[in-house]
Chains A and B, each alone.
Chain A
Amino acid sequence: MQRTRIPTSAALRVAATAFALVLLPFVFRLNGHAHADWLQFFGRFHPALLHIPIGLIVLLPILEYAGVRRPALRESAGFVLRLAVAFALPTLALGYMLAYGSGDTGSTVTRHLWGAITLCIALMLCALIRSAWAAGTQPRAYPAMLTFSLLALLFTGHQGGSLSHGSDYLTRYMPTGVRSMFSFGSPGIGADPASFYAQRIHPVLDSKCVACHGSSTEKGGLRLDSYPNLMHGGKDGVVVIAGKPEASPLLSRVTLPTSDKHFMPAEGRTPLTPDEIKMIRAWITAGASSTAATIPGFAAAAQSSEPPPQPVGDYSALMPEIQRMQQQQGAKLVPVSAKPSDGLILRTVDIASTFNDAQLAQFQKFAPYIVEAELSRTTVTDAGFDTLRTFAHLRSLHLDGTAITGSGLAKLAPLKQLTYLNLSNTHLTAQAAATLKSMPQLRRVYLFNTPAEVGTASAKSTP
């Protein structure tokens, strides 16, 4: 058997191309500035073209494998491989033009870029050593390189998908169980969670700006996904000047006429509403603080905001048991919504007159999933607090019209999610009502028509 040599000229060509590819990001740096429009015009064909090399690359191992039985297929694999290289290189070029032209930066962009470069080089190496493998002289190198190419393809494709659809595209509808296996922690926002920034400003930036100015894409080198990043600014300098809203680019860019080429959010994305702009202006005027909880003019509204509800686990597996429970004792566990992570409501209204502490205790096994307990007008007593304290995700508790006096109310203190507590028309004592002060998580407390109401001035208190 004649030893198949790799032609020197081919090896040189591959080395030169690989060198050029590796050099590319250093010559044309992705520095966050947009470049010529024609670059973007061509660059936007990248999403169209990229599917061709992907299809060809995926076809390769199939052809090679099927070629064991049908040699004709293996012969065609060589052609497909060269075709894949021929398409992969222009795809990479277009993708680079897209990023360079529009000024995209960010960790996802970088990962996508280097993934693509690696993939192209690996493919070219495949093409280079395949003939040796086909001749039987190098049995390992080519399959290894092909496997590596496929992994690189998977990685690059995923990064690209994250760029165009958002980084949570894959995980958003992932079942809760699967999701918990990977821990998707969200990065901190670098500000006091109770601050005006965290409560009011961050959500606006998060919904309107972070798509382009976040961790995956950093247009203009600007990230608005956390307080430190916001205050750090971008390539063109700081965007927030505390106390000077009109001089702050953050505000001026969103208040330009929509036809202005510097208007943000760009490219027809949803503009900020007048209320959101008013809020940002007031926040900057007041010093753009990361800790201040209230801003003049917005104090009342800020106070009513509640912490976002925490998702509970998936109770779907317990459904048969829940239904059995409902048939046996009449009290129901009703889904808050079609989404299991929104939790369950314990509903007793149609058997309220007979529902007691013992029945309540039976629901302890569903404790982690219950976010709301409707116990109005039941015969539940103070002893029920022993069960209720185990409802760790409880957000709303209705005890109005019961005979409770509130002794043991303090047992609810560890329920950090509890924001609504209705104790109207009960025998709640003033003494018990005083323990409510030790539960800062409560937002809405109702003491109407109780002995305690006489003590406190208003029926509704916000500790």
Chain B
Amino acid sequence: MKQHPLCTDCESEVDITSLPIPAGLKQEWSTMETRRRFLGRSGKVLGWAALASLLGESALRSHGADTKNPALATRNNLGLPHFAPKAKRAIYLFMSGGPPQMDLLDYKPGLAAQFNKDIPDSVRGSQQLTGMTAGQSRFPIAPSHWAFKQHGQTGTWVSELLPYTARMIDDLTIVKTVNTDAINHEPAIMLINTGNMNPGKPCLGSWLAYGLGSMNDNLPTFIVLQTKTNPKENNQPVSSRLWSSGFLSSEYAGVGLRSGGDPVLYLADPDGVDRDTRRKMLDAVEQINRQTQSDVGDPETNARIAQYEMAFRMQASVPELTDLSKEPQSTWDLYGSDAKIPGTFSYNCLLARRMAERGVRFTQVYKRGWDVHGDVVGVLPVLCQETDRACYALVTDLKRRGLLDDTLVVWAGEFGRTVYSQGGLSADNYGRDHHPRCFTTWMVGGGLRPGITYGETDDYSYNIVKDPVHVRNFNATILACLGIDHNKLTYEFQGLDQRLTGPAPAYVVQGLLA
């Protein structure tokens, strides 16, 4: 082991075989150790040295040798954005669980007359249902419990659950015909985030971070905000697999800010360590990492160096970001007092606006609890009360500050919900199961055509009758707003030119664009 210059009492090399661990594991380790030794330390073997220098150089080239911004060199080679973008940044309000479209924005007036009638077989077809309702003997139609009214110049029908959304309805681009391939949460949420049902692919935010890079070197390019869960709601798990960078360098992964307490743990220096000491420590670590990088040529080492540097800069930038004390009263009038409580959806929306101001490229706010299998009448008003005003406040705030022109805001879940009731349908309550064939999303901001409703569903909000938008086309359209041709933003991995929209052909939905 190389002795570090600052280290006076270096430990002697640990012998794995002397540790108290199972023999089989030891054996496996020792074979790995042999290979690692060979690769890592036999730099004098001519062939390896040549290979290492070649690999190392190409890794360095593709990953950028610029120490301050390792992603910079990559991006210059990518030639992005492919065309002049309308939006520079995006905020994605992710409604995890699957909001029931026919209770919110997909108005189906004909359903009231069909209360408790069975959904026609011709509508449902031979669709495979989830295990939760496949065993039901009946599929009784559950009309929405709430009244709808027309709002705005466009006369768009909006549920009474969304009084605030109704106020900005003329600005929104509503898509009623988004559809997905998966009927369960995990594959569906992976599919809409990464373009693939299986984990391991980079998500939208990582592709953006990789392709477009940072605007503000003091903050992460891609930030994830989670909303504190409400125990009354049916919360599906959401975790870092959804903001993973997959096979892209891990510096493009989303950085999660915590929903309570310190937004980033251990960000503040411990007592007795001042910023200069921290700087010295990081410099020493970087030196070691550079040595490792030159020995092994693993590009992930560069990512690690970049992340240490980012954390150091975040020590100054994150407290400023999350300090809401200077927000004017007009902010609280708009967002409501909920926004003062860290971890609420309102608070996260306000943070998202502050991040947009500070040049965070992509902010994803997760709100869980939309998985309303039962007690829709009891739970849905709570969900809407938590989110409706905050969404309106965010869009309005961006608009009045002149940020909406170059910011894209997306509101979407992973799928929709069934028109038929899951479990018992009573006069005043019902449940709804997962529904991948159509669901409603809205978008607003840079590059979009405001005040339109795109696509039509049938009378049961079950099948699409006009202008379907598959999630991969939805994602291709988001990329287009940000100046990216989804066919050109690729990364070679496992022998494929991987892309967010996957190998199937995808297209930009021109009807949504201004």
Contacts and interface: CB of A to CB of B under 8 A. Distances in A.
A349 B359 contact: yes
A273 B509 CA distance: 13
B44 interface: no
Contact of A349 (B215, B400, B406): B215
A342 B79 CA distance: 13
Contacts of B82: 337-338
A405 interface: no
Contacts of B358: 349
Contacts of A336: 81, 84-85
B216 interface: yes
B402 A444 contact: yes
B328 interface: yes
A349 B216 contact: yes
B209 to A, nearest CB: 15
Contacts of B405: 420, 444
Contacts, number: 62
Interface string B81-101: 111110000000000000000
A337 B357 contact: no
Interface in B339-358: 357-358
Contacts of A425: 401
Interface string A420-443: 101011000000000000000000
Interface string A432-463: 00000000000010101100000000011000
Contacts of A309: 84
Given A337-B84, A339-B83, A350 B217 contact: yes
A304 B248 CA distance: 39
Contacts of A104: none
A79 B511 CA distance: 59
B218 interface: yes
A422 B402 CA distance: 6
Given A337-B81, A337-B83, A400 B402 contact: yes
B311 interface: no
B3 to A, nearest CB: 35
A349 B401 CA distance: 16
Nearest to B212: A334
A350 B359 contact: yes
A425 B354 CA distance: 14
B330 interface: yes
Contacts of A253: none
A376 interface: yes
A338 B80 contact: yes
Interface in B384-417: 399-402, 405-406
B330 A449 contact: yes
A44 interface: no
B70 interface: no
Contacts of B330: 449
A232 interface: no
Contacts of A424: 400-402
A347 interface: yes
Contacts of B85: 336-337
Contact of A376 (B80, B81, B357): B357
Contact of A459 (B83, B217, B359, B400): B400
Interface string B44-80: 0000000000000000000000000000000000011
A339 to B, nearest CB: 7
Interface string B107-125: 0000000000000000000
Contacts of B357: 376-377, 401
Nearest to A319: B76
Contacts of A446: 400-402
A449 B217 contact: no
Nearest to A342: B84
B483 interface: yes
B84 A449 contact: no
Interface in B192-249: 215-218
B497 to A, nearest CB: 18
Given A309-B84, A336-B84, A342-B84, A448 B400 contact: yes
A336 B212 CA distance: 11
Contacts of A398: 402
Interface in A365-407: 376-377, 396, 398, 400-401
A449 B326 CA distance: 13
A339 B79 CA distance: 9
Given A338-B81, A424-B401, A446-B402, A350 B218 contact: yes
Contacts of A377: 357
Contacts of A448: 400-402
Contact of B84 (A339, A349, A401, A422): A339
B27 to A, nearest CB: 50
Nearest to B514: A304
A347 B402 contact: no
Contacts of B217: 350
B79 A338 contact: yes
A67 B218 CA distance: 71
Contacts of B359: 347, 349-350
B356 to A, nearest CB: 11
Contacts of A339: 83-84
Contacts of A449: 328, 330
A448 B400 CA distance: 6
A300 B170 CA distance: 12
Contacts of A460: 399-400, 402
A272 to B, nearest CB: 13
Interface string A67-93: 000000000000000000000000000
Given A347-B215, A350-B216, A350-B217, A400 B401 contact: yes
A347 B85 CA distance: 15
Nearest to B359: A349
A301 to B, nearest CB: 9
A179 B400 CA distance: 42
Contacts of B81: 336-338
A425 B331 CA distance: 13
Interface of A: 273, 300, 309, 336-339, 342, 347, 349-350, 376-377, 396, 398, 400-401, 420, 422, 424-425, 444, 446, 448-449, 459-460
16 contacts: A300-B153, A337-B80, A337-B82, A337-B83, A338-B79, A339-B83, A349-B215, A349-B358, A349-B359, A350-B359, A396-B406, A401-B357, A422-B401, A444-B402, A446-B402, A460-B399
The 9 A-B residue pairs with the shortest CB-CB distance, nearest first, are: A446-B402, A422-B402, A349-B359, A338-B79, A448-B400, A350-B217, A342-B84, A350-B216, A337-B81
